[in-house]
């Protein structure tokens, strides 16, 4: 009986890792890069939504801290830049008023 080539025995693991990389890791890295780019380009006046679900308008930009205006009588909060989930292009159409149960 001749010993099998170790490379041939290791080949299925390489194929599985390749498929795993193509289907999971690569898209996740693209998404992460796009999100980092969005965070770096935030400017005053952008409408954003935080990871906590708070809609606001950026009124001040510091290095790692953003000041968001979340209410009309100048209700401002400071959040970490990394807490921004994305732009809220449709935030103006969201009904934030309390609704009565039907």
Can you tell me the distance from the alpha carbon of 99 to that of 92, in angstroms, rounded to the nearest whole number?
17
Percent of the chain scored above 70 by pLDDT?
Answer: 84
Has residue 32 got a pLDDT over 50?
A: yes
Average pLDDT over residues 42-51: 93
pLDDT for position 92: 53
Has residue 71 got a pLDDT over 90?
A: no
Return phi, psi of residue 13, to 5°. Answer: -65, -40
Q: What is the largest CA-CA distance in the chain?
A: 84
Its pTM stands at 0.67
Instruction: Give the pLDDT confidence of 3-30 residue by residue, as tens digits.
Output: 678 888 889 999 999 999 999 999 999 9
């Amino acid at each position: 009986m001749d010993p099998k080539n170790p490379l041939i025995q290791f080949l299925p693991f390489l194929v599985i890792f390749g498929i795993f990389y193509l289907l999971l890791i690569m898209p996740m890295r693209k998404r992460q890069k796009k999100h980092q780019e969005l965070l770096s380009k935030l400017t005053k006046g952008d409408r954003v939504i935080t990871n906590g679900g708070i809609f606001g308008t950026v009124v001040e930009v510091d290095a790692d801290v953003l000041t968001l205006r979340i209410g009309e009588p100048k209700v401002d909060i400071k959040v970490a830049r990394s807490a921004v989930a994305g732009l809220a292009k449709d935030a103006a159409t969201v009904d934030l008023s309390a609704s009565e149960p039907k």
